[in-house]
Structure 1
Amino acid sequence: MNKMNFFNKIFRKQNRFYIYTMIMVALFIIMVTTFSVYYMKSALERNNTVLLNEISEESSNLVSEKILRTIGSLQTAAGIMSQEDDIFSQKNIDDMNILVQEYGYDYMFLTDRQQENTVFSDGIRREQIKVISMLKKQDIIISDVKKSEDGENILFLSVPILKNTRRIGSLTGVYRAEEFARIMETTLFDGKGVHYIVKKTGEAIVLPENETVHFTFDFEKGFIQSDVFDNIPELSKLPGSMRKLESGIIKFINDENETNYLSYRPLGVSDWYLISVIPSGQFSLQNVTNVMLHIALLIDVIMILLAGMAIWFYKHDKKEVVDVDSITQLANKQKMELFYKKASQKKGYTFAMIGVDTFNELTDTFGYVMGGQILKNIANIMQPFIKEDELAARLKEDCFGLFIKAKTKQDATRRLEEILSELNQLKVSENDYIYYDSIRCSAGINVLSEKYEFEKLLEYTTVALELAKQSNDKKIVTFEKELQQQLALRDTLLPDMYKALQNKEFVPYFLLQFDIENKEFTGAKAVATWRHPEKGVVMPENFVLVLKETGILLEMDMLLLEEVCKKQKDWIDRGLVPLPLTVNIARLNIHREDFFNRVKAIVERYDITPSLVILEIEETAIYDDIDRSVALIEKLKEYGFMISICHFSSQYAFLNIMKMITIDSIKLEKGFLPKGNITDKERMIIKSILDMAKELQIQIIVEGIQTDKQAKILKTLGCSVVEGYSYPEPVSEEAFEEMIFYEEI
């Protein structure tokens, strides 16, 4: 009787809806779990193809980069060797030995135009390889694999040595084929995955040591002469696809009835192809399935409990809020997107984004709890400025978005100035104790004259916000047509970037450093410009983002350093007194293992004094790994390079580091100097920095001086060397020489 009463109570009429709902939810979850387990195998198999594609692309990039870098080094060396009266001079032989060590050749050799004489880098005579006749048809030779006299598989890269456009010989670097195998070494699926490099016609270039699938690639026979894939039906169409320079992934079954995946893609070097093979099913499907089944059952229990809780909350009128940011209680990104769809149909709106310049530093210092409190305080300050039919939202991290009624750039700027004025008075404090004196905010604005997709609107306005954060004085930046054109230019330049590096279209321009007291040039900073075949001279601000996206920025430092050394050597040979030239080093470059050896090799190649080169390093780059950075700087100084620190701050951390390192110059940004009249406090701070530098025999250079008044302040404080004041724009190599050697100042 009691049991019956219990069940009657549970299944009474008013509870049946909730019970049926829970049953339906449970059945749905069971169905989803069943399908999840069923599709798990195919999902894991798809993972194989994705991973294969990524590994294949990475290996392809490594091989292409090595070939392009090697060709560039050979062409540069050939240009230097052509200047010798005798191409077989001892200097050229010494240069070959330097290149052998730096680029990992097995050996190198020089050949004259008639191919009667050949000199090898190691002095060992070998069977002569005929290259001049081949070079008559093309500028660069990347050979097929050949057998050396000692039975090794070798391939060679040759470039002509030209004098006044006439071929006088050739320079050839010889690699063992295994060198490229080492580049691609990676543990694929417990050693069961492999890479091959072959020609598009099937001849082998590089073969793996341990083949898991027994293809019959041969160094001399191609697809026509051998049956590499004839015994595997799925791969029978591959030779035809490779001849058409196509790429793709094929699933096939080998002789042992095992499923494998094969990726094929052209390397972009000669007619080489990269073929990568990995086995299928290296995951333990049985174990994974069992584990996932248990997890799925656990999820079932949790979901049933959650469904019951959701019904209980629904019964008690608990409403889930989906359009409010949990930290600030402002609207979230989803609500802002809905608002935009309605607002974009009307006129007179402006979209703005506000961000905290140093939010990451604040959270690193004070923790995420304090970071959350800062976000709440910002939201509380902004809310009173938001009028009817306007919206403020937190989009992500420290980034806030606002839709405000403002028809013009001037109206929007005025309103944002009011908001930023209040935000910049915000302090980090606990009770009555102030930890951080002020928080600095910036804003990007976009007057809605055109209708964009919401994500595109965010992208454009974020560009303006980032520019405002980077600026020392302009804290509100408007996204206008010029910025949009820069983004469009970035997108059009991206495909040409690798070709430009190979064709040496990047050339240095020079930003002059001038002593305003003594009226003389003291040096210059080299900046990369792009002599684009269609767009003319493209300045660095238009393509530096593309350099970062493609990863070429690291190689650009080496290219600029080489051009600077070449220019110094040219001046010395012409009897001119060279000025020290500065090359900025990207922060990632100073943490590369081979950085010191590479810069040392470039200076030695041109036989110049290292002190003619100033390596400019950002202060913040030193903090990434202080011990390593200090050791590198000391090593560079000991070799003879001059070291300059840019983006200098007067923080205690860096002043402490200066006890450990020796530097030659410090570059102060324009933010160090006030725009208007200098106060006694500002004068005292600046003078103390200058006096400290003089005591340590460190030269001070100030960049970004805009007014004569600022220049006079510098002179009264005892600092006279400026960059980009009297000569604010970078000048070409020819104009630079004319100004420093021939014009009167």
Structure 2
Amino acid sequence: MKANFKPFLFILLCSTLLVAGISFFSYSQSKSILKEKMTLSTQQMVMQSVDKLNLMLRSYEDLTYNFITDNVILSNLAEYSSDSSDQLDRYTAANAIKTTIAVRFFSKGEITAVHLLPQDSKLKAITTNPPDVPSIDYTHTDWYKQALAGGRTAWHETKSAGYMSGLSSFAISRSLTLSSGQRYLLMVEISTHILNDTLSERQLGDGGEIVLLDGSNRLLSPAHGATEGEVYSIPSLNLANIDKDASLSTIDTATVKVNGAKQLIVAGKLSVAYWKVEAVIPVSELVKDTSKIRNTTLASVITIAIVTYLLNYLYQRRRSDARIRYMAYHDHLTDLANRKLFNELLEKEIGVAKQHGQRFAVMFIDLDRLKIINDTFGHGAGDKLLVDISGKLKRQLDKAFTIARFGGDEFLVLMPQIGEYDEVEAVIYEISALIQQPIYYQDKELFVSASIGVSIYPLHGEDGQSLIKNADMAMYSVKESGRSSHRYYDAAMDKKSYGNLSLERDLRKALEREQLLLMYQPQFELATGRIAGVEALVRWRHHEHGLISPAEFIPIAEDSRLIIPIGEWILYTACKQNKAWQDAGLPAVQVSVNLSIHQFQSNGIIETVSCVLKRTGLEAQYLELEITESIAMQDVEKVILTLQGLSELGVKISIDDFGTGYSSLSYLKNFPIHRLKVDKSFLDDMIENPKERAIVGAIIVMSHSLNLSVTAEGVETMEQVKLLSELNCDDVQGYIFSRPLSPEDCASRLVENVSYAGRRP
């Protein structure tokens, strides 16, 4: 017994000495190890802050560069600065510049004010400050002198009361010289919260802080016991009492004694504004946890090490297996079930329902307008919205329901054991109400609605794939009929879907089979009665179904992107026909061609139009391109650039279906257009409804004030003609004058050039 016990004691003693030695060594090294670890972590944090601030400041420099190279602004600024400009010219130019500033700059909520400061004392500054903000003589201020001495671009430190706006801000200035030699200083004030928010993301414990300093060691962000603009209590790193501990290529690290306590300082310099990010942590806080090692005993070390290792191994293995399975069956963003898990649970529910003769419902949910939110506020807003909606559905719906994210903005809900349809209706209305509740993102309210399709087992399918497919089909039926509603699957939807696929297949061959043809509807001047132009309208003569309405095949062409080759064919054929009429000696008129959203947004639209004009020989002034109001508001800045490129070719631009979209007049006045086309929906009730009549009159007056012509579409009665004439409408187009005509009949009408006055009853 003793013989066996001694080796055990020897091993235990050796183990005790070994662990005790390791414990002592660990304690002796713990301070330096922890300090080094925290130092490296802080260095990384400072580098990340420096990189983020550099990127942010460069983005504002790019923004100011886009401003001083904008042709519209430069031309208005030249008008404002010109000696030949009178007071009204300068007022108009200044307002145009302010409008452009609002479009270009104030899309960023952190920008508080923008100023254009002339270096010629004869001119006033152009500023976005409200009229009640008093102006100052900026030419004698230190920041103005600093801006002039800063070269092409200069950054200015934070001011608690701003430079001119009165708000806490920092600023970037950029010099601007017009071709006339007139010099300006662009000053953009940016709210300090954008700096503070960036720095507040970094956590340095209870006693640590991270601040932004200028070259004079003055605070550009708040600190413990100090505000912006004050000299920081921690001395700069170039003082002699600092002992260097470590350094990186762009980061300085040092320890300094302040008020008897050592502080770790890690500083990084911005490459853009010559400012400095500085992190300060008390050294005592870095090593406060080392006292725990001192109290570690031999028994606890051995026991904890062995038990922890075994438990951790078993726990991590089970956790890893569970995590892998969870990730395989759940959506990583919303934490809902994914498509795979939903399909498995759906198959189980089918088995239970089949065994007990039960019914259940599958709901296919698609969020409306999520793409607009992503395009407007970024994908972070869209992700926040998806997460919040998922949380609401999980919390509020019955726990027996299965909720899954199908993909993108689509969700699936499995509602088991339903009795009457009223139960399904109640759940649908609950889901719709939850989704329509506002969601807050960066102090903004976001709203979406939902289109919901429903399939019932076994009425609408006896397998999982059929139920999901049919619910999806019902949802798309809701989308087509206006969104924000719900619909149950119907067998007619299958027939319609098959019919659309069949039409799409035949439409792909319609061009090569020469089944497409163009009709031309004349447009008449109300003042003279002569034909001012014609609109090209496409028709499809199907080999089996005869003449198919554009309302039936154009949406199919849009969804399948066939509208792009069809649109190019329409453009070429219309230009070619107009040129043929002119070569035949007929009166020269404009031909109007509608551009689809896919055509207009394609990168080569300007080159396509230019090529068609060259191939057909038609002069650009006889081609008018029509875009709808909804297309014009997709991406305003890109739309303006595209329209300017088309306008430079010499073609005319018109806005079709005006009044049915959501256009802003502040954008509309910047579009290089020459005509608005009033939608038929305003004319239908114009005679009986004074409000509709007032809207049409307001559109005409507004258009004329912007030097735009107005064409009324869908004119069908002489009462409408008379009222439009009284409202000074320029042109009309409708069945009362002429239906769409074949090229031959349209040529005859051009020869006759019949006045509507001669056709009055």
* TM-score in terms of structure 1 length: 0.44
* TM-score in terms of structure 2 length: 0.43
